[in-house]
Amino acid sequence: MTAELAKAYDPASVQDEVAKVWDDEKCFHAEPTDPGEPYSIVIPPPNVTAALHLGHALNNTLQDILIRRARMQGKNTVWLPGTDHAGIATQTVVEKRVLKEEGKRRTEFERDDFVKKIQAWKDEYEQVILGQLKAMGCSCDWDRTAFTMDEPRAKAVREAFFQLFKAGLIYRGKRLVNWDPATLTALADDEVENEEVDGFFYYLKYPVVSSTGISPVNHGRDGHATEYITVATTRHETMLGDTAVAINPKDPRAAALKGKFVRLPIVNRIIPIIEDDYVVLPVSLGGDPADTKAQMATGFLKVTPAHDPNDYDIGQRHNLDIINVMAPDASISDKHGWSDIGDAGFLLGQSREEARKLVVKWFKDNALLEDQKPYRHSVGHSYRSHVAIEPYLSDQWYCKVTDKRLAGAALDAMNPSQISRGTGFQPVAEGEQGLKTHATNTGITFYPERYAKTYQTWHENIRDWCISRQLWWGHRIPVWSSSATRIDFVNLPANATVASMESDGMQYICLRENDTDCIANLERAGFSQDPDVLDTWFSSGLWPLSTLGWPLAAEAASPADSASGLATSVAGDASSDPPPNALSTWNPTSVLCTAREIITLWVSRMVMFNQFFQGQIPFKDVFIHAMIQDGDGRKMSKSLGNGVDPLDIISSHGTDAMRFTLTSMATNTQDVRMPVVRDETTGKNTSPKFDLGRNFANKMWNAARFALMQIESNQSQVANSESQFTTLDRWIMSRFNKTVTECDEAISNYRFDQYARACYDFFWRDFCDWYVEIAKVQFKDETKKSTTAQVIATVLDGSLRLMHPMIPFVTEKLWWKLNEVCPDRGIDGWINRGTNSRVRAQVDGDGNSTRIITAQWPIPGQTDDSAEAIVSNLQELIAQIRTARNDYKVSPKQSVTVTIVAPDCGAEQINLHRDMLESLATCKIAGVETAITTPPVNSTKITAGACEIYIEGLVDEAAEQLRNTKRRDELTKAIAAKKGRLANAGYIAKAPPHLVKETQDQLAAEEAELKALSV
């Protein structure tokens, strides 16, 4: 039956066959009521904007490793898949497509019609993405597939918004937002990217007047008497909205200017000169010479509250008017809060860029431009449209994340051992707000630890979160408003489903449920729903809750206390509790596995929301993996054309190959590089790195093929006694057990590269290179062949299990074959009989699974240091003979005759392993002695550790010279280094004694060898 196995591993056919079985048998599905300690992961939902790239392949491979291992460990394991609607990103790609294909802009469509187009795009890419995840072998519970905008998630969003609204954590604000004038929407702080831009500092002169606006006063720059003061700015077009000029109270000119005004050029607005210590003093007046701002500053700052966040703050402090001089597209406009346009009529309707030029020209023409200096500074740009952000005054919804119950709770959620103290950290007190009541709330641990700092700093400096977006694609804000209607005129249902607030003379009604009657009532009364949608991260922030069924039916129906963040129930702690549900079983999830770029965008919000709504952390660990870059350290991107499509690699190398390579690259650095080359035959991007995985999968396939053939023909007799195992058998089992321990530690610490390496080294080096070759010898021995088959089957079985999480397809297929060849399995079956203290899988339930995906994960058995020491010596002997054969150019097939001199007890072991030595070193052992007086004639002596080997017939004088010279040089160098070390009194006195002894012993051996070589 092993003849069925092809000579080379064919990934495509195996993947299809195996995937079908997993799917048919619903191997990925779990229920909350299933036995076992819960283990859960929510997938970072990929954006439906595009197909998955290699970064996703890495991310999801690592999650799948964790999931598959947990499942094999008998945990109640679930991996929740899904996708994200990615509001602005998706709307933008669809707008581009529609413009290209239909030549129409979004605004030419009705809202519902355009949303349908986006929906169609989403449907298309959701299928692509889910198909890719399946192709990657991801063992997600597909029955639980979610989308951030499907109905269960929409329900969670409404509930969350309602609870926050009711708790006073959502407010309406006329604030400066990061406005994207191209897509006409507000952006969150972290959606803004900074770019260096070459610009100019302009020095504008403003005439000083008394309060009446008539008489000039003489105070100006650097104290020189003039009727002007000079402000310095890079955003001169916003001067139209200036409502004050500020000076530092420490400025010597401040006293004289107290109570004075300036007449704003062009608009002729009379604005006050105010004092605020935000203003930087120029170097000439005591400012910091190293501060570029102080170098450029005049000491007078134009204050434009509507167009600069800092000016806005100054405006708040001094009760200044806020005059917005721009339309939403960033053109100059008098329709959005600006009436006293003065002489600025010529600027109306101009773009901000054009206005900038015109304003400079005006100042120049009117001799009010004192100077201009080149200046390079960074300017915020939209991460989507890439146009410069405009700080823009608009009405937005805010979530008060600065509240203790949110940011405070997020800090409180940290693993105490990872908190950096003394940075202003103020955790919510134990018990306060009812947080930290859950038994599992021991704190979130970051891997690698350094990212805890990123997280902490973010929350310590957090600002309120603007959650409204002027988009069509997203969760519509569940608030209805009216300016005139009095709320008591409206016939509203019970208080539990409605919350209201008043702001700026407007009535706002928030609805908990999508209650059509209620909405009809409201709309009849003149209320209308807010046109905006919520920031994408609002729904993603709920992901660990919403994918697991939050809000629960009962909770949502009652006027829960949870609105104030009080979570009093502890899952499953009382007999009267309802049966376990997905939420109570799997939240908190076990680990969040993601990239560092979204620690602030996503991780933070999930923690705040989970803490607030559920009173517990959303995940116990956060694992941040490296980012894959191309060979030149650049990000992989479509525009650079340096991306690699996972599906291309799957078809060229196989899924397991891709997964193995990615796993071995998952070190704990920030970035890893993957050289990208273009495959000339397919025209597609690939990377030579994937050959590593392809070769490994093939090696595994072939080693198993050999093992299966041997097992089939050698399993007639069964060993029941430990004593029947050879040293070599015990050696490979010991190596296996150490490998299991290494893998366990590696995975537990999220060091996936170490897991891959441990598997590779064990399987290829120890098992294939050594044990399989040894087994070939043992199979020829009637007394050993049965136990050898048993050991090879046991170790193969264990190896397949150990590697299954990483390379699931090939291991599953081979395990089935192993089952066919020796069906008498299980802990008491043929494989484990006699070996079960040495190679073990977790006992409970093992033997019943017919699929490796649900078979038991290995646990380390007995190790055997004495066998390892013996084999290590034998390996050294073989290596030396092989090297000598190569050095003397002996043909690989030609045997040589050797005499081995092994002092002490080494001779006994060599005699015991004669067959194996002769086979692996292609030699004939003429004799094994403990000492020798006359070396065999015509022989060359080589050394291997404590042994000497005389190889007959090697008489190449030149080769011998070369060899001896090389060895002598090595020894001389090593001896000199050790003598130096031992001559150091400090070393003898302070180094651990065993090291000193080791050095002395090694020195003695090396000196002896050198002496022997010289005679």
Establish if 821 lies at the interface with RNA (CB under 7 A). no
Contact residue for RNA among 883, 895, 938, 961 (CB under 7 A): 883
Q: Which window, 358-366, 752-760, 856-864, 902-910, contacts RNA (CB under 7 A)?
A: 752-760
Query: CB of 8: closest distance to RNA in angstroms?
Result: 4
* Cα dist from 780 to 729, 775, 777, 893, 921, whole Å: 15, 9, 6, 19, 17
Give Cα 579 distance to the centre of its chain. Answer: 34
Taking the least distance from each CB to RNA, the nearer of 498 and 942 is 942
Yes or no: say if 433 and 405 are a contact pair by the CB < 8 Å rule: yes
Establish if 768 lies at the interface with RNA (CB under 7 A). yes
Contact residue for RNA among 339, 891, 933, 934 (CB under 7 A): 891
Site for RNA in 456-485 (CB under 7 A): 457-458, 461
Nearest Cα to 648, choosing from 6, 37, 57? 57
DSSP state of 864: -
Establish if 779 lies at the interface with RNA (CB under 7 A). no
Taking the least distance from each CB to RNA, the nearer of 562 and 663 is 663
Establish if 219 lies at the interface with RNA (CB under 7 A). no
Establish if 772 lies at the interface with RNA (CB under 7 A). yes
Contact residue for RNA among 361, 1002, 1008, 1011 (CB under 7 A): 1002
* Cα dist from 907 to 18, 777, 903, whole Å: 50, 20, 7
Site for RNA in 78-107 (CB under 7 A): none
Q: Which window, 105-113, 233-241, 255-263, 429-437, contacts RNA (CB under 7 A)?
A: 233-241
Nearest Cα to 796, choosing from 686, 699, 920? 699
Q: What is d(CA 643, CA 251) in angstroms, rounded to the nearest whole number?
A: 56
Contact residue for RNA among 596, 684, 738, 914 (CB under 7 A): 596
Binding residues for RNA, total number by CB under 7 A:
102
Taking the least distance from each CB to RNA, the nearer of 194 and 568 is 194
Establish if 986 lies at the interface with RNA (CB under 7 A). yes
Establish if 360 lies at the interface with RNA (CB under 7 A). no
- The residues near 859 (Cβ < 8 Å, ≥ 6 apart) are 740, 840, 841, 842
Site for RNA in 380-439 (CB under 7 A): 380, 389, 391
Establish if 706 lies at the interface with RNA (CB under 7 A). yes
Establish if 878 lies at the interface with RNA (CB under 7 A). yes
Site for RNA in 649-678 (CB under 7 A): 665, 667-675
Residue whose pair of structure tokens reads 């409605």 in the numeric block: 498
Q: Which window, 137-145, 294-302, 505-513, 954-962, contacts RNA (CB under 7 A)?
A: 294-302
What secondary structure does DSSP assign to 114-178, as a single string? Answer: HHHHHHHHHHHHHHHHHHHHHHTT----GGG-EETTSHHHHHHHHHHHHHHHHTT-EEEEEEEEE
Residue 741 CB: number of other CB atoms within 10 A? 14
Taking the least distance from each CB to RNA, the nearer of 115 and 709 is 709
Taking the least distance from each CB to RNA, the nearer of 386 and 966 is 966
Q: Which window, 110-118, 291-299, 637-645, 861-869, contacts RNA (CB under 7 A)?
A: 291-299
Give Cα 751 distance to the centre of its chain. Answer: 13
Establish if 776 lies at the interface with RNA (CB under 7 A). yes
Establish if 689 lies at the interface with RNA (CB under 7 A). yes
Site for RNA in 265-284 (CB under 7 A): 278-280
Q: What is d(CA 349, CA 327) in angstroms, rounded to the nearest whole number?
A: 9
Contact residue for RNA among 495, 886, 938, 965 (CB under 7 A): 886
Contact residue for RNA among 441, 500, 564, 702 (CB under 7 A): 702
Q: Where are the alpha helices (DSSP H) in 888-992?
A: 906-912, 914-921, 957-983, 985-990
Is the previous residue joined to 448 through a cis bond, with omega within 30 degrees of 0? yes
Query: CB of 80: closest distance to RNA in angstroms?
Result: 26
Establish if 992 lies at the interface with RNA (CB under 7 A). yes
Nearest Cα to 978, choosing from 992, 966, 962, 995? 995
Task: Give me the 309-348 binding string for RNA, x by CB under 7 A, dash otherwise.
Answer: xx--------------------------------------
Contact residue for RNA among 23, 597, 781, 908 (CB under 7 A): 597
Establish if 182 lies at the interface with RNA (CB under 7 A). no
Site for RNA in 625-654 (CB under 7 A): 629, 631, 633, 635
Yes or no: say if 67 and 61 are a contact pair by the CB < 8 Å rule: no
Nearest Cα to 465, choosing from 381, 535, 563? 535
- The residues near 453 (Cβ < 8 Å, ≥ 6 apart) are 420
Q: Where are the alpha helices (DSSP H) in 547-617?
A: 553-557, 582-586, 604-614
What secondary structure does DSSP assign to 603-634, as a single string? Answer: IHHHHHHHHHHHSS-SEEEEEEEPEEEETTSP
3-state SS, 27-39, equals: CCCCCCCCCCCEE
Taking the least distance from each CB to RNA, the nearer of 106 and 751 is 751
